[in-house]
């Protein structure tokens, strides 16, 4: 029913605008929202796809069978996949104001920083999804090592500034959604950057990134509530045993649910405890 409504709406709009098919609260689609906000461009139709249900057939046809989102469809019906590629496409189509660096070397620098996003993001997700208490310390250390690497990169290229360059730009657009998702590490793992010099520069960067007005698409409360199932080891809308609803479900609305229990290792919250049975 939900996907039928989405399909109809997609057909109705007659492809006069760009369409992005996305999963709410997905860090990769938040990148696109941030970029568009920075550009002040609001003519993109964001169509929500419910990750807890099978992908609709019409969408699988567009993607030729791949299920990862976001996916952008142009006015001509062309399909662009992969958030980093979509960011570059939007930057190329709507160059003003520039978000990416124009100078070749500076663009290479932000490219090198962005080349760290996959490993950085994947580690944080593996950390929150870990269910073995004996591995906690190794995950924490691995996370700290990755923050230290970002710290070093920022010290090399902009030791005294706030962002990688003068303003919130492409690297910030790419990393900020992960910094926000990693609120789940703070809540479910008690993880935060220790107050040490080794992390001082990246802490300054991270704090400025999450506070930036163009990046306020999600809140800590929303992340913590929706990602409960990730903290219990179930990613991408998968269903945990003894549960009938994913914490990623669109209904009941997250704001009406209670804060989940923090103890991810010993306790298995029920639908009821998570406010999901209403």
Q: Is the peptide bond before 252 cis (omega within 30 degrees of 0)?
A: yes
236 touches ligand GAZ by CB under 6 A: yes
Write the interaction track for ligand GAZ spanning residues 39-78; mark x where CB under 6 A is met and - where it is not: ----------------------------xxxx--------
Taking each helix axis as running N to C, give the angle between helix 83-93 and helix 27-39, from 0 to 180 degrees, rounded to the nearest 10.
10
83 touches ligand GAZ by CB under 6 A: yes
147 touches ligand GAZ by CB under 6 A: no
**Which CB atom, from 67 or from 244, has the smaller least distance to ligand GAZ?**
67
**Which CB atom, from 15 or from 81, has the smaller least distance to ligand GAZ?**
81
**Which CB atom, from 112 or from 122, has the smaller least distance to ligand GAZ?**
122
Three-class SS state of 73: strand
Three-class SS state of 67: coil
Three-class SS state of 18: strand
- Rounded to a whole number of angstroms, the minimum distance from the CB of residue 278 to ligand GAZ is 26
State the DSSP string of 128-171. Answer: HH---GGGHHHHHHHHHHHHHHHHHHHHHH-SSSSSSSSSS-HH
Binding segment toward ligand GAZ, per CB under 6 A, in 101-109, 117-125, 130-138, 201-209:
117-125
Q: Record the tokens describing residue 16, joined without a space.
A: 């006069």
**Which CB atom, from 47 or from 201, has the smaller least distance to ligand GAZ?**
47
- Rounded to a whole number of angstroms, the minimum distance from the CB of residue 275 to ligand GAZ is 22
- Rounded to a whole number of angstroms, the minimum distance from the CB of residue 27 to ligand GAZ is 5
State the DSSP string of 20-42. Answer: EEE-TT-HHHHHHHHHHHHHT--
Distance from C-alpha of 3 to C-alpha of 153, rounded to nearest angstrom: 44
**Which CB atom, from 21 or from 153, has the smaller least distance to ligand GAZ?**
21
> Is residue 161 classed exposed, middle or buried when 0-12, 13-18 and 19+ CB atoms within 10 A define those classes?
middle
The residue ranges that bind ligand GAZ (CB under 6 A) are 23, 26-28, 67-70, 82-84, 121-122, 125-126, 235-236
């Amino acid at each position: 029913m939900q996907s039928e409504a989405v399909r109809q709406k997609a057909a109705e709009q007659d492809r006069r605008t760009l369409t992005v098919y996305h999963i709410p609260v997905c860090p990769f689609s938040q990148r696109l929202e941030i970029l568009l906000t920075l550009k002040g461009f609001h003519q993109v139709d964001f169509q929500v796809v419910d990750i807890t249900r099978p992908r609709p057939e019409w969408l699988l046809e567009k993607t030729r069978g791949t299920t990862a989102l976001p996916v952008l469809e142009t006015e001509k019906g062309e399909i662009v996949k992969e958030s980093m590629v979509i960011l570059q496409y939007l930057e190329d189509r709507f160059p003003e104001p520039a978000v990416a660096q124009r100078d070749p070397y500076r663009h290479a620098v932000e490219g090198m920083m962005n080349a760290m996003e996959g490993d950085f993001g994947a580690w944080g997700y593996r950390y929150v999804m870990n269910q073995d208490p004996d591995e906690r310390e190794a995950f924490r250390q691995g996370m700290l090592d990755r923050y230290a690497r970002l710290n070093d990169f920022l010290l090399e290229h902009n030791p005294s500034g706030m962002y990688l360059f003068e303003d919130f730009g492409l690297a910030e657009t790419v990393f900020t959604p992960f910094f926000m998702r990693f609120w789940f590490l703070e809540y479910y793992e008690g993880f935060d950057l220790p107050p040490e010099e080794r992390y001082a520069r990246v802490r300054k960067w991270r704090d400025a990134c999450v506070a930036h007005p163009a990046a306020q698409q999600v809140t800590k409360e929303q992340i913590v509530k929706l990602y409960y199932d990730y903290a219990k080891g179930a990613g991408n809308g998968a269903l945990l045993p003894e549960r009938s609803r994913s914490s990623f479900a669109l209904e009941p609305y997250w704001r009406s649910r209670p804060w989940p229990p923090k103890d991810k290792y010993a306790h298995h919250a029920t639908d009821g405890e998570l406010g999901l049975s209403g």
